[in-house]
């Protein structure tokens, strides 16, 4: 595995210590910084340009979603892994929409964080098993997945195929030479046409369709 630099952003020192202990088993991970606030996390990401950011959602100053949005909007190359106690799917879907590469529940981190990092560094998206198992595609419009694809425009199918490849909206925008806002518009249109609710269902449908 290629070496990766990483910042840990969490306001609990004991939890950061636990994460460091897990990461110590990975010789290809170099911890280059730690942050106790969202504001500090964003400053360090801009200054140190790490490959990865482990980011809690509930942070003093800027919250995790605000930090994630700022990183995506600034088109920074750092890949964000949300590490949180929030198991509400609304947070998961919002994080996916904003471009997170992974969403890991803290109480599962001891068992899943290494797998998550390996998955993300291999170009994939990772969702904690307990959340991923809840994901269900709504019935939406009739027909199988291939038939439902015919309802989409060529550009929408291209965007959906990129979603199936675990690409973030930022990466899709770069690859297709369109704006991040345009990608989000296509994603919203796809969800509307296919009867999907949120980024989690969109990802699950895309994986099944391609």
User: Which CATH architecture is the domain 145-209 placed in?
Assistant: Orthogonal Bundle (1.10)
pLDDT of 127 strictly over 50: yes
pLDDT of residue 177: 92
- pLDDT, tens digit (0-9, with 9 covering 90-100), for 76-97: 999 999 999 998 888 888 888 8
Does residue 121 or residue 135 have the better pLDDT? 121
Q: Are strands 52-55 and 29-35 parallel, antiparallel or unpaired?
A: unpaired
The rounded radius of gyration (Å) of the Cα atoms in the chain is 17
Which two three-digit tokens encode residue 176?
């297709």
Q: Does the reported pTM lie above 0.75?
A: no
**d(C-alpha 14, C-alpha 12), whole Å:** 6
Q: Which residues contact 66 (CB under 8 A, 6 or more apart)?
A: 38
Backbone angles phi, psi at 109, to 5 degrees: -60, -35
Only one residue has tokens 């369109």, namely 178
- pLDDT, tens digit (0-9, with 9 covering 90-100), for 138-157: 334 444 566 678 778 889 99
Cβ atoms of residues 157 and 149 within 8 Å: yes
Instruction: Give the mean pLDDT of 190-197.
Output: 84
pLDDT of 165 strictly over 50: yes
- pLDDT, tens digit (0-9, with 9 covering 90-100), for 11-65: 999 999 999 999 999 999 999 999 999 999 999 999 999 999 999 999 998 999 9
Superfamily of domain 4-132: Response regulator (3.40.50.2300)
Cα 61–chain centre separation: 21
- Domains of the chain: which residue ranges? 4-132, 145-209
**d(C-alpha 190, C-alpha 197), whole Å:** 10
pLDDT of residue 54: 98
**d(C-alpha 140, C-alpha 133), whole Å:** 19
């Amino acid at each position: 595995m290629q070496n990766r630099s990483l910042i840990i952003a969490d306001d609990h020192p004991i939890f950061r210590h636990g994460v460091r202990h897990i990461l110590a088993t990975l010789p290809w991970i170099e911890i280059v910084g730690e942050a106790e606030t969202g504001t500090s996390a964003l400053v360090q990401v801009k200054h140190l340009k790490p490959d990865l950011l482990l980011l809690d959602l509930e942070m003093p100053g800027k919250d995790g979603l605000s930090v994630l949005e700022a990183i995506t909007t600034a088109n920074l190359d750092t890949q964000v892994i949300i590490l949180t106690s929030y198991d509400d799917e609304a947070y998961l879907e919002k994080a996916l929409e904003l471009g997170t590469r992974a969403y890991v529940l803290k109480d599962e981190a001891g068992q899943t964080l290494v797998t998550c990092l390996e998955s993300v560094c291999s170009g994939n998206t990772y969702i904690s098993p307990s959340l991923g198992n809840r994901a269900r595609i709504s019935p939406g419009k009739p027909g199988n997945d291939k038939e439902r694809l015919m309802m989409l425009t060529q550009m929408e199918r291209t965007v959906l195929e990129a979603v199936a490849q675990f690409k973030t909206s930022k990466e899709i925008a770069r690859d297709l030479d369109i704006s991040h806002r345009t990608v989000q518009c296509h994603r919203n249109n796809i969800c509307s046409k296919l009867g999907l609710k949120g980024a989690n269902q969109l990802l699950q449908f895309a994986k099944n369709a391609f």
